[in-house]
Amino acid sequence: MKLPITGGCLCGTVKYSISKKPIGAGNCHCRTCQRSVGTPYMPVLFVHYQALHITGIYKEFSTESASGNTMYRGFCPQCGTSVFGRNSGSDKIRPVNASTLDDPSIYKPHMDFWVADAQPWDVMNPDIPKYDGNPHHL
């Protein structure tokens, strides 16, 4: 994986670069991601907070997660793209929406989580681990 990894929103107002190899990668099938992103799951790169460098003004929308923490979803106020987030329960790890990478083909998910919320029309790779809720190691 070539560094830095770059990405941004649809209109280009919000951009980011990732300066270190991501900690993990997995698809979140939770109901909140479904509605927020508008797809059956959100492909998530987990990035150490010090490795994520953001430019441009973005807004955050917060929801309470199943574990009682606050999940902040960062989006572009111009085009609405959901770009990255942060969670009050794990402030060292930033989730980044892998669909917003400049080269999304580098994304290699190694797990599916919140599969208990997955839609019947959601198609998953049977060869990677599945977690009903949050993965235990993140």
Among 5, 18, 25, 30, binds Zn ion (CB under 5 A): 30
How far, rounded to the nearest angstrom, does the alpha carbon of residue 36 sit from its chain's CA centroid? Answer: 11
Q: Which CB sits closer to Zn ion, 3 or 79?
A: 79
Q: Are 28 and 64 in contact (CB under 8 A)?
A: no
Size of the residue set binding Zn ion (CB under 5 A):
9
Where does this chain touch Zn ion (CB under 5 A) — which range of 26-34, 47-55, 85-93, 104-112? 26-34
Task: Answer yes or no whether residue 111 interacts with Zn ion by CB under 5 A.
Answer: no
Q: Which CB sits closer to Zn ion, 6 or 13?
A: 13
Interaction residues for Zn ion, span 54-93 (CB under 5 A): 76, 78-79
Among 5, 25, 33, 96, binds Zn ion (CB under 5 A): 33
What would you measure as the largest C-alpha separation in the chain, in angstroms? 39
C-alpha gyration radius of the chain: 14
CB of 77 to Zn ion, least distance (A): 8
Task: Answer yes or no whether residue 13 interacts with Zn ion by CB under 5 A.
Answer: yes
CB of 114 to Zn ion, least distance (A): 5
CB of 19 to Zn ion, least distance (A): 22
The footprint of Zn ion (CB under 5 A) covers 9, 11, 13, 28, 30, 33, 76, 78-79
